Amino acid sequence: MAGVVMEEVTKVYGEDVVAVRDMSLDIQDGEFAVFVGPSGCGKSTALRMIAGLEDITSGKVYIDNRLVNDLPPRDRDIAMVFQNYALYPHMNVRDNLGFALKIRKVDRSEIKRRVEEAARLLSIEELLDRKPKALSGGQRQRVALGRAIVREPNVFLMDEPLSNLDAKLRVHMRTEIRKLHNRTGTTNIYVTHDQTEAMTMADRVVVLREGIVQQVASPQEMYERPTNVFVAGFIGSPAMNFIRARMEKHNRSLDIVFGDTTIPLPRERHWKELDGYVNGEVMLGIRPEHMQDARLVENMQGSATLDVKPQVVESVGHEKYLYFELPEGLTARTRSIEEIEADTGRNEEGSGDMLVARVSPEAKVRESEEVKLVVDTGKVHLFDLETEKAIF
Amino acid sequence: MGKAGKERLIKAGLYLAYAVVTLFFLFPIFWVLSTSLKSVPQLFATPPIWFPLDPRFENYAYVFTNTPIVRYLFNSALIVLLTVVFTLLVSVPAAYGFSRYTFRYKKPTLMMVLVFQMISPVVISIPLYRMFVELGLLNNYAGLVVAYSAVVLPFTTWFLKGYFDTIPYEMDEAAIVDGASRWQAFWRILLPVCAPGIATAAILVAILSWSQFVIPFILLDDAALYPVSIGLVNLQSNADAITLHYLSAASIVAIAPVIGVFVLLQRYIVNALTSGAVKG
């Protein structure tokens, strides 16, 4: 078992295509780290540099305190699970699992022991004599995991291993992989574009965008304290709502104002740092789940409210999504927000600047009928309009 | 005319076209087969006899007992076997290199391979002869196999490169991460997976090489070394005898192995050829 350290690792393709820029990271021994980000953000490239499948343009990678820049993959003591499993179609499951050990001339009895143990761990004992084409997607996935487990490596590297599975199987396999990690305690670096996978599986999440690390934090911290608009919008589903607002000082309170809505900022947060934003514009971030139908809220004292007319109401059983628009000009649009929306498919061309509220299933809301929403003022976020960095 | 009527007409037209093309290609073989079973008077009868009512199978017996056709068939088989082995030894690693490696001038090199494919053996026959004379490679199976292979290598390399391209590169990477060297990944993983494609390439090379005429005609003058395609030339009619029926019988004997191989393996060959096209 070992930690992985990346020191200002950069990858450049050709003359000027920077896939990863100055990535520095310290993954602890036994940690489950998840690299997440939209397509093309450099997460797979970073993983492949750790694996040794891509050259490192500059910077250093250490595995178990050993500099591995010039070591071939076979000498890095890593095992990798690929997106399309990459099982050897001409070998049965037993031979697939044992291939790496056979190549390394491990004793036959030891190969047999490890293969059977991995098969038992993954419940694939009765599949050992089958070929990959006779397996389902989930079974192939488990064989791919088994092939990594038998190696007993220092680090597991997984490149979107669940992408090719259906939604239900993906949820099941997520827990299986996490259970496996808890059992083996091996350092795991997992790449995904799915923020739900990242949040449910990771000890720490690494968000990447255009080759640059945006934030490294535990899922909860990333959810509660995103460092910038991109992370705030990428983490959480549905994505955070972003509104252009003004910061105003009234007596002793700092308020965020947009349209007819005034949101008083909680006193206990850092007000001194906000001095420069008073009477200026800021970007307000409100997560859909931090808005509720006012009719279902008992004590409204001190709350901020927002009157909306949902254009679409979606009921998913345990909650409802209300899609509404704000008066023109209030919905914030930046490059980060457009990138997130492009990645999630939200606000596709022609659908306008829709915001989302996630309310209780008991909320009696109908399309085109006005509803008053209560905003949890303790959970709002503020960002600098220019730099998109979090200021509150 | 309604839609259904139009569709029927189009279908009828298509089938007519199929029939015409099929006849165009099959008729010569039918005529040779028919001729191989005729007697001498029947050969030039007017009107022509399409198929003799009393087929003369003794024509085939004559060919086997009075001509060295068995020797020619053996020579053809040997040349084809050596050509297949040598071609695969060169084209398989070449195709692997083109498929798996990025290197300078890769695209122009591939284009050059394609361009060489377009050069007919007839065009290079004279310079080939002169070169082989200098090298002392006339009447020599080694030289012949090299020349045969040069003709089929471009096609085989392109075909196999396409086949290797259908194998995801992650498979190589999985083997490398598992601890295999490049050679081990090629030998133990890629080759077995590509076995169907390689087998198809071998069959296609064999079929192409069996019917090769110009190159052995130029490079061989020792009758003992003739493949069947050249041996047939000696059975042509001359002033002393009409041998058209024997020549036809020998021709059928010469093409029978190729037809047999194709008929037995056609589904396999077509699958391998088209699967590469679909996966791109």
Question: Where does the pLDDT of residue A191 fall: very low under 50, low under 70, confident under 90, or very high at 90 and above?
Answer: very high
Based on the fold, state whether residues A60 and A154 are members of the same structural domain: yes
pLDDT at B92: 96
Query: Residue B280's pLDDT is what?
Result: 33
Answer yes or no: are the C-beta atoms of B78 and B228 closer than 8 Å.
no
pLDDT on residue B156: 94
Q: Tell me if the bond preceding B41 is cis, omega within 30° of 0.
A: no
* Enclosing H/E stretch for A322: strand A320-325
Enter the tokens of residue A117: 């143990």
pLDDT of residue A349: 47
Identify the DSSP state of A186. -
What is the count of structural domains for chain A? Answer: 2
The verdict on A354 and A222 lying in the same domain is no
**Are residues A74 and B176, on separate chains, in Cβ contact within 8 Å?**
yes
What dotted CATH number matches B58-279?
Answer: 1.10.3720.10
Let me know if residue A388 belongs to a domain: no
Q: Collect all residues with Cβ–Cβ distance below 8 Å to A207 and sequence separation of at least 6.
A: A36, A37, A213, A214, A215, A216, A222, A230, A231, A234, A235
Which whole number is the average pLDDT over A13-21? 91
Name A47's Cβ contacts closer than 8 Å, sequence gap at least 6: A35, A157, A159, A189, A191
Query: What number is the average pLDDT over the span A25-37?
Result: 96
B175 neighbourhood in chain A, CB within 8 Å: 88, 99
Cβ-count burial B28-66 (b if 16+ within 10 Å, e if not): eeeebbbbbbbeeebbeeeeebeebeeebeebbebbeee
Q: Provide mean pLDDT across the span B220-244.
A: 82
pLDDT exceeds 70 at position A345: no
A61's CB contacts (< 8 A; 6+ apart) are A4, A5, A6, A7, A9, A49, A50, A67, A68, A69
* A68 exposure class (CB count in 10 Å sphere: 0-12, 13-18, 19+): buried
Same domain, A187 and A287: no
Spell out which residues of chain A touch residue B173, defining contact as CB-CB under 8 Å. 53, 80, 82, 86
pLDDT tens, residue by residue, A110-145: 999 999 999 998 999 999 999 999 999 889 999 999
Average pLDDT over residues A180-209: 94
**Per-residue confidence at B238, pLDDT binned at 50, 70, 90?**
low
A179, part of any domain? yes
CATH of the domain at A366: 2.40.50.140
Do the beta carbons of residue A355 and residue A301 sit within 8 Å? no
Residues A178 and A29 both lie in one domain: yes
Within a domain: residue A134? yes
Mean pLDDT in residue range B137-145: 90
Average pLDDT of chain A to the nearest whole number:
90
Q: What was the pLDDT predicted at B277?
A: 44
Instruction: State residue A253's pLDDT score.
Output: 82
In this structure, what DSSP letter does residue A26 have?
Answer: E
Q: Which of B178, B193, B194 to mutate to test the interface with A (most CBs of A within 10 A)?
A: B178
Cβ distance A288 to A256 under 8 Å?
no
**Co-location of A207 and A291 in the same domain:** no
pLDDT of residue A267 exceeding 90: no
* Whole-Å CA distances, A310 to A351, A357, A366, A373, B258: 13, 9, 7, 11, 74
Residues A148 and A261 in one domain: no
Chain B residues with CB-CB distance to A132 below 8 A: none
* Same domain for A280 and A155: no
Would the CB atoms of A74 and B192 count as touching at under 8 Å?
no
What is the model's pLDDT at position A350? 45
Does residue A80 lie in a domain region?
yes
Is the domain of A194 the same as that of A258?
no
CATH number of the structural domain spanning residue A18: 3.40.50.300
**In the predicted structure, residue A335 carries a pLDDT above the cut 80:** no
d(CA B117, CA B164): 20
- A152/A29 same-domain check: yes
Residues A209 and A246 in one domain: no
Strands A187-192 and A32-36: parallel
From the list B188, B187, B170, B100, the residue with the least C-alpha distance to A51 is B170
Residue pair A157/A47 in contact by the 8 Å Cβ criterion = yes
Query: What is the number of other CB atoms lying within 10 angstroms of the CB of residue A90?
Result: 16
* Distance in angstroms (rounded) separating the CA atoms of residues B13 and B19: 10
> Which pLDDT score is estimated for B237?
63
Single-letter code of the amino acid located at A69: N
Under an 8 Å CB criterion, which residues of A touch B?
Answer: 51-53, 72-74, 78-80, 82-84, 86-90, 99-100, 103-104, 147, 151
Domain extent, residue A372, equals: 241-383
* Shortest CA gap A78–chain B (Å): 7
Q: Tell me the chain A residues in contact with residue B190 when contact means C-beta distances shorter than 8 Å.
A: none
What's the pLDDT tens digit per position in B46-86?
A: 898 888 889 999 999 999 998 899 999 999 999 999 999 99
Q: Taking CA atoms, what residue in A is nearest to B170?
A: A86
What pLDDT is recorded for position A240?
A: 92
Which residues, other chains included, contact A259 with Cβ-Cβ below 8 Å and sequence gap of 6+?
A306, A326, A327, A330
Interface test with B, best of A53, A143, A159 (most B CBs within 10 A): A53
Task: Calculate mean pLDDT across residues B172-198.
Answer: 94
* A232 belongs to a structural domain: no
Report whether pLDDT(B279) > 50.
no
> Which residues have C-beta within 8 Å of that of residue B200, sequence separation ≥ 6?
B159, B268, B269, B272, B273
The lowest-confidence range among A43-47, A329-333, B19-23 is A329-333
The model's pTM? 0.83
In this predicted structure, the answer to whether residue A348 has a pLDDT above a threshold of 70 is no
Angle at B38 between CA B34 and CA B39, to 5 degrees: 170
pLDDT above 70: residue B257 = yes
- Paired tokens of A306: 């927002």
**Residue among A45, A80, A115, A191 with most chain B CBs within 10 A, to mutate:** A80
Query: Quick one: pLDDT at residue B272?
Result: 66
Q: What is the pLDDT of residue A327?
A: 76
- On whether both A65 and A199 belong to a single domain, the answer is yes
Rounded-to-integer distance, Cα A199 and Cα A383, Å: 22
Helix axes B106-117, B141-165, angle to 10 degrees: 130
Give the integer Cα–Cα distance in Å for B119 and A109.
57
Could you tell me the pLDDT band of residue B240, with boundaries at 50, 70 and 90?
low
Q: CB B149: neighbour CB atoms within 10 A?
A: 22
pLDDT band at B227 (very low <50, low <70, confident <90, very high): very high
Over residues A94-111, the mean pLDDT reads 95
User: In this predicted structure, what is the pLDDT of residue A297?
Assistant: 83
Q: Inter-chain contact A82–B193, Cβ cutoff 8 Å?
A: no
- Cβ within 8 Å of residue B186, ≥6 positions away: B96
Alpha helices in A159-194 (DSSP H): 167-184
Q: Residue A221 has what pLDDT? A: 95
Which residue type, as a one-letter code, is found at position A186? T
Taking an 8 Å cut-off on Cβ atoms, the answer to whether B179 and A100 are in contact is: yes
| Closest of B106, B146, B144 to residue B226, by C-alpha | B144
Using the Cβ of B167 and the Cβ atoms of chain A, whether some distance falls under 8 Å is answered with no
Q: At what angle do helices B3-36 and B244-279 cross, to 10 degrees?
A: 140
Q: What pLDDT score does A259 carry? A: 85
Is pLDDT at B217 greater than 80 in this prediction?
A: yes
pLDDT at B278 over 50: no
Helix (H) or strand (E) holding A381: strand A381-383
How close is the nearest chain A Cα to the Cα of B194, in Å?
10
A233 domain-assigned? no
Q: Is there a domain that residue A93 lies in?
A: yes
How far is the C-alpha of A178 from the C-alpha of A188, rounded, in Å? 10
Lowest mean pLDDT among A61-70, A295-304, B156-165, B179-188: A295-304
- Same domain for A251 and A361, yes or no, is yes
